[in-house]
Amino acid sequence: SRAVPAAPSILRRSRARRGGKRVRFAQVTVYYFARRQGFTCVPSAGGSSLGMAPRHHRARRYSLSQFAHLRQVSHRQHLRQHLRREKLRARRRELTQNGTVPSAEAAGLTLADVSDDDLDVGQVEVGDYFYLQPLPTKRRRALLRASGVRRIDAEERQELRALRLSREQCGCLCRLTCEPRTCACSQAGIQCQ
């Protein structure tokens, strides 16, 4: 009996090919979309959701270094705005009696009353800041209005509220063993949670 030579390994061949070719990126293309009322997501707080137009209205190309610089500048601006809002909240709390009795002075404060000198931007690492934070209902409405949305569909608010409530009640009430007659999961045709 003769030994049959083993077929060359597929893994070895793919490794050899990988070493010679590499993908390198030289540009970043950024597409800009107008804001629209969302209808596709459920914000954690009340109000309408944010979305975007189906087609972009502008596209820009950047080199990798230009894009990295643009992101850093944008992140610093977001960080400044966030710190400014936090400082404003803190000042309003100080001017009220332990946050219980509102004062006219606290109500009159605006973001313009917080100067750049009051912000400790140098103390916060820009890379550590989380930029996709939930927006309050008022800010979402203001963004939609600023983007030209004239009529905000009020029905979405009730639909989103119903969705949030339904998501709070997930699974069933079974303990240790499943009771198919009373198990909400079993009745829905899914495995008992």
Q: What is the DSSP secondary structure assignment for residue 177, as one 8-state letter?
A: B
Does position 140 have pLDDT exceeding 80, yes or no?
Answer: yes
Q: pLDDT tens digits, residue range 99-121?
A: 666 677 777 777 777 777 777 66
- H/E stretch holding 75: helix 64-95
Q: 188 versus 146: which is more confidently predicted?
A: 146
Confidence of residue 130 (pLDDT cuts 50, 70, 90): low
Does position 86 have pLDDT exceeding 90, yes or no?
Answer: no
Whether 152 and 48 have beta carbons less than 8 Å apart is answered as yes
Interatomic CA distance for residues 146 and 152, integer angstroms: 12
Please report the pLDDT score of residue 100 as a whole number: 61
Determine what percent of the chain is predicted with pLDDT higher than 90: 12
Whether 53 and 171 have beta carbons less than 8 Å apart is answered as no
Whether 119 and 87 have beta carbons less than 8 Å apart is answered as yes
Please report the pLDDT score of residue 13 as a whole number: 56
Spans of all domains in the chain: 27-158
